[in-house]
Structure 1
Amino acid sequence: MYGRRRPVWVIPVVIGVLILVIIIVDRNIGPTLSEIARTKAQLMGVECINKAVNERVVRDIEYRDLVLVRTDDRGRVVLIQPNTIKISQLMAKSSLEIAEALDQLSETSLGIPLGQMFGSTFLAGYGPKVRVKVIPAGTVNVDIISKFQSAGINQSRHLIYLKVSSKLKVVVPFSSDEVKVATTIPVAETIIVGDVPGMYVSLEKPNAITRSAVQSLSP
């Protein structure tokens, strides 16, 4: 004896409901999920870059490795000149270490609770987690920044930074997006007692001799 057959309209109705649910999720939850994923990916990328540079590159770097300070017969600093070989090695090693660290991100995934997508503080930590993949999507760009900052009466601080930028691809259900990751990492610094040297060879453009001036760093 055979059981009762389901009405022929059941399957089309179920398919229609599933399509409707997908459309609602795509239009209402999709953009929120994408924005949350982008923000988390940026934070993860910056943390990954900072950790790679601080732990694998700059911990053994000192100011005198990167810069040659020339003084006159009275001991006054008259010229700051970059060690272009060391700086090039620093930038190259940083690029390689950062690229390797970012590649490892693709082996993990972000978990975003479903409740967080509804904008509710109460539900933010609840619900099944939506898995989000983060994949490197561009080359790693590393630039050197050199700045002077006033450090008190008759003193100046010379700071050297690495400016790093790259891109990550964020893959979420129904879509994917690219996000730019950028950070500035301090590498070395020193205190110059006396007047700021009248001239220094720019670290950004090693062949350019530039009139120096004390500059305030952006907060």
Structure 2
Amino acid sequence: MVEVADSQMRTKIVEIISKTVLTEYSKRFNYDKIMNIDKDKQGNITLLRADTLKMNSIACDVSLEAQRELKKLQQIGIKFPLGYMFKNNLIAYYGPNVKVRMEPIGYIETKYLSNFESAGINQTRHTIYVQVKTNVKVIIPFKTDVIEVKNQVPICETIIVGKTPETAIDMNLDSAGFKMKSAGK
């Protein structure tokens, strides 16, 4: 029963986080305004600079909105039929409903991951992901369990055409992001 409750709650939380990320980033993220590309006189890329202030602002909004949505889920909870636990299609929709509640604990952490990879001759694929992580206490009758929910969503993928520098490109986005204490107990 605990495994089913954890799975159902994890699915619902990932859905909330994904919707929040897509909503916030579609409103405010523009690669050309966030990532500044400096070129030399020959048009070769010399530097990529991220506007971490804008990125952190969006990450903060994601954390705040995700927390609001998790609070709603905390108040409502989710229900599933007791027959669902037996993994049998014939009885999966029968039986009394089991109510599962959750309580956010710890932090909602939003951070960025950046990846550069070769995409052909003189082409580099740059992908930026946002990763949202939180811990929640899943509460079912007579039992509680703490689970970590981590969701990684790609927010942009760009092909950079042209000669790239011979040195390694490190966006160092590990310091970009936002960590906010959950409003739970």
- TM bucket, shorter chain: 0.7 to 0.9
2:135 is equivalent to residue 194 of structure 1: no
Residue pair 1:70, 1:78 contacting (<8 A) in 2 also: yes
Distance in 1 separating the partners of 2:172 and 2:77: 38
Q: Which amino acid counterpart does residue 14 of structure 2 have in structure 1?
A: V
2:43 is equivalent to residue 43 of structure 1: no
Structure with the higher strand share, 1 or 2: 2
Deviates more, 1:96-105 or 1:35-44: 96-105
Distance in 1 separating the partners of 2:43 and 2:68: 44
2:123 is equivalent to residue 149 of structure 1: no
Per the alignment, residue 179 of structure 1 pairs with 147
Instruction: State which structure, 1 or 2, has the greater radius of gyration over its C-alpha atoms.
Output: 1
1:48-104 Cα offsets, whole Å, 9 max, x none, are 001011113443311122211111101111211111221221222222122122111
2:139 is equivalent to residue 164 of structure 1: no
Deviation of the 1:141 alpha carbon: 0.7
Per the alignment, residue 82 of structure 1 pairs with 50
Deviates more, 1:155-164 or 1:194-203: 194-203
Q: State the TM-score, normalized to the length of structure 1.
A: 0.73
Residue pair 1:162, 1:186 contacting (<8 A) in 2 also: yes
Q: Which amino acid counterpart does residue 204 of structure 1 have in structure 2?
A: L
Deviates more, 1:195-204 or 1:46-55: 195-204
Sort the Cα spacing of 1:102 and 1:196 in 2 relative to 1 into closer, same or farther, 3 A.
Answer: farther
Per the alignment, residue 71 of structure 1 pairs with 39
Q: State the TM-score, normalized to the length of structure 2.
A: 0.85
1:171-212 Cα offsets, whole Å, 9 max, x none, are 101111111110111222321112333354523256xxxxxx
Q: What secondary structure does 1:95 align onto?
A: helix
Residue pair 1:169, 1:178 contacting (<8 A) in 2 also: yes
2:111 is equivalent to residue 107 of structure 1: no
Q: Which amino acid counterpart does residue 188 of structure 1 have in structure 2?
A: C
The root-mean-square deviation of aligned C-alpha atoms, in Å, is 1.8
Identical aligned pairs, as a percentage?
Answer: 33
Q: What secondary structure does 2:148 align onto?
A: strand
- Relative contact order (C-alpha < 8 Å, sep 6+): which is higher? 2
Q: Which amino acid counterpart does residue 190 of structure 1 have in structure 2?
A: T
Distance in 1 separating the partners of 2:120 and 2:169: 21
Distance in 2 separating the partners of 1:118 and 1:205: 43
Match among 163, 166, 172 for residue 203 of structure 1: 172
Per the alignment, residue 139 of structure 1 pairs with 107
Distance in 2 separating the partners of 1:79 and 1:51: 33
Distance in 2 separating the partners of 1:146 and 1:118: 41
Distance in 2 separating the partners of 1:205 and 1:129: 43
1:1-29 Cα offsets, whole Å, 9 max, x none, are xxxxxxxxxxxxxxxxxxxxxxxxxxxxx
Residue segments in structure 2 that go unaligned for 5+ positions in a row: 176-185
